[in-house]
Amino acid sequence: MFSYLRERFTSHLREHSRRRARLVSKDGRCNIEFGNVEQSRFVFLIDIWTTILDLRWRYKMTIFISAFLGSWFLFGLLWYAVAYIHKDLPEFNPSINHTPCVENINGLTSAFLFSLETQVTIGYGFRCVTEQCATAIFLLIFQSILGVIINSFMCGAILAKISRSKNRAKTITFSKNAVISKRGGKLCLLIRVANLRKSLLIGSHIYGKLLKTTITPEGETIILDQVNIEFIVDAGNENLFFISPLTIYHIIDKNSPFFHMAAETLLQQDFELVVFLDGTVEATSATCQVRTSYIPEEVLWGYRFAPIVSKTKEGKYRVDFQNFSKTVAVETPHCAFCLYNEKEAKAKEKKGYDNPGFVLSEVNETSDTKM
Same domain, 222 and 334: yes
**pLDDT of 314 over the 90 cut:** no
Give φ, ψ of 190 to 5 degrees: -115, 145
Range scoring the smallest mean pLDDT among 32-41, 204-213, 227-236: 32-41
- pTM listed for this prediction: 0.69
Phi, psi of 110 (to 5 degrees): -65, -30
- Which range has highest mean pLDDT (174-183, 207-216, 284-293)? 174-183
Please tell me whether residues 189 and 156 are part of one structural domain: no
180 and 329 share one domain:
yes
Band of pLDDT at residue 80, cut at 50, 70 and 90: very high
CA dist., res. 70 & res. 73, Å (int): 5
**20 in a structural domain:** no
Parallel/antiparallel/unpaired status of strands 271-281 and 201-215: antiparallel
CATH of the domain at 90: 1.10.287.70
Pair (155, 118) in one structural domain: yes
Query: Averaged over 77-98, what is the pLDDT?
Result: 90
Which of 146, 163, 180 corresponds to the end of one domain? Answer: 163
**Cα separations in angstroms, 98 against 86, 102, 138:** 10, 11, 21
For residues 298 and 231, state if they share a domain.
Answer: yes
Distance, in Å, from the CA atom of 232 to the CA atom of 210, rounded to the nearest integer, reads: 16
Q: Can you give the pLDDT at residue 76?
A: 95
- Does residue 10 sit within a domain? no
* Domain end residue (candidates: 119, 143, 163): 163
Percent of the chain at pLDDT exceeding 70: 82
Last-in-domain residue among 163, 190, 206: 163
Query: What are φ and ψ of residue 272, in 5° steps?
Result: -140, 120
Residue 18 has pLDDT above 70, yes or no: no
Same domain, 130 and 186: no
User: Are residue 192 and residue 301 in the same domain, yes or no?
Assistant: yes
∠ CA 217-223-225, nearest 5°, is: 75
- Residue 294: its pLDDT value, please? 93
152 shares a domain with 215: no
Q: What is the mean pLDDT of residues 120-147?
A: 89
- List the one residue out of 292, 294, 259 whose CA is nearest residue 273: 294
227-260 pLDDT, tens digit each: 899 998 865 555 677 778 888 899 998 889 898 8
> Residue 19 is which amino acid?
R
CATH classification at residue 311 = 2.60.40.1400
Q: State mean pLDDT over 153-163.
A: 87
Positive or negative, the Cα torsion across 289, 295, 301, 307? negative
Q: Please give the angle made by the CA atoms of 170, 171 and 177, to the nearest 5 degrees.
A: 80
For residue 68, the enclosing domain spans 48-163
pLDDT, tens digit, 9 for 90 and up, residues 328-365: 999 888 887 777 766 555 555 555 555 555 555 555 55
Task: Tell me, yes or no, whether 214 and 339 share the same domain.
Answer: yes
* Lowest mean pLDDT segment, chosen from 152-166, 224-238, 263-277: 224-238
- Give me the pLDDT at residue 274, please: 93
For residue 158, which phi and psi values (nearest 5 degrees)? -65, -45
Rounded to whole angstroms, the Cα distance separating 277 from 170 reads 12
- Greater pLDDT, 44 or 25: 25
The pLDDT, as a whole number, for residue 371 is: 43
Number of C-beta neighbours around residue 291 at 10 A:
21
163 by Cβ neighbours in 10 Å (0-12 / 13-18 / 19+) ranks as: middle
Could you read off the pLDDT of 172-186 as tens digits, one per residue?
A: 889 999 999 988 888
**Domain shared by 74 and 148, yes or no:** yes
Residues 135 and 182 grouped into a single domain: no
Identify the H or E element spanning 173. Answer: strand 172-174
Q: How many domains does the chain have?
A: 2
> CA of 260: how far to CAs of 77, 202, 211, 314, 337, in Å?
73, 36, 16, 48, 7
